Amino acid sequence: MATRVWDRFLTDEDKAHLAASQHHPIGFGEKPALLLIDIYRGVFGDREEPTLDAIKTWPGAMGPVGWTALRQVQRVLEVAREVGMPVIHATGNNDVPHWSDRRERMRKGPSDPAAEDRRRRRFDIMPEVAPLAGEVVIRKSSPSAFFGTALPMHLNYIDIDTVIVCGESTSGCVRASVVDGCANRYRMVVVEEGVWDRHQAPHAINLFDMNQKYADVLPLDEVTDWMRGWHARRTEAAHAGELVTAGR
């Protein structure tokens, strides 16, 4: 069995229990969408640099781990666009109080123009994954992309049954969105290399927990292979329908 990111955090008893129990994947449906959660400037800063340097100007920065994951998200997004899968971007909203603002106020020092500029730009979606025309952008002020937003209505409107998730943070907004998506009866799929966190233990254990209860946590290559297969099936079905219509 392939090694998973959470394996080194499990006890021998945990591993024995997993071996003795049966875990059944949720599986994909046939009407998927890609959801990108909080891939915004505030967690990257203006350039890639070590985390302890980045947080001096961008307190929410995650350093190299975020930039590495961003490149993986680009791969997933490229395939989603290639196969015509709906893409939805979720980010914060500067026009309403954000759930993290309480923490920011507690550690906020004297204001200056540069800091205010960074604050205004914190929820700007990174240009590497910037929305294209027709891709929906959801503004949220809570950890979950589902809570208090139009996301559930939009997914219902376009008849989605499977939500493929990338973004951050694994233990925060990704987990909250996955749990809410599960509660709304969507098949949730988390791209393992496409999510990240500030700390590795919460990242690994939250992936493990989501995989056990609320979602399928799958390697990027497995997800993109499925996406291309989904597209091929749709194309074949459409072609068969055209042949039937032409034969009438």
| 42-78 confidence digits (pLDDT tens) | 999 999 999 999 999 999 999 999 999 999 999 999 9
Q: Where are the beta strands (DSSP E) in the chain?
A: 32-37, 87-92, 136-140, 162-168, 187-196, 216-218
Q: How far apart are the first and last CA of the chain?
A: 51
Which tens digit of pLDDT belongs to each residue from 208-240? 999 999 999 999 999 999 999 999 999 999 888
CA distance 118 to 66: 18
Just list the catalytic residues: 173
Q: Categorize the per-residue pLDDT at 13 as very low, low, confident or very high, splitting at 50, 70 and 90.
A: very high
Which residues make Cβ contacts (< 8 Å) with residue 128, sequence separation at least 6?
70, 71, 73, 74
CA distance 87 to 60: 25
Residue 97 pLDDT exceeds 80: no
Q: What is the pLDDT of residue 202?
A: 97
Q: Categorize the per-residue pLDDT at 103 as very low, low, confident or very high, splitting at 50, 70 and 90.
A: low
Residue (of 78, 35, 23, 40) closest to 174 by Cα position: 35
CA distance 27 to 236: 21
Q: Categorize the per-residue pLDDT at 92 as very low, low, confident or very high, splitting at 50, 70 and 90.
A: very high
- Write the class of the CATH domain 31-246: alpha beta
- Look up tokens 């899968």; give the residue: 85
Q: Where are the beta strands (DSSP E) in 113-153?
A: 136-140
CA distance 175 to 202: 11
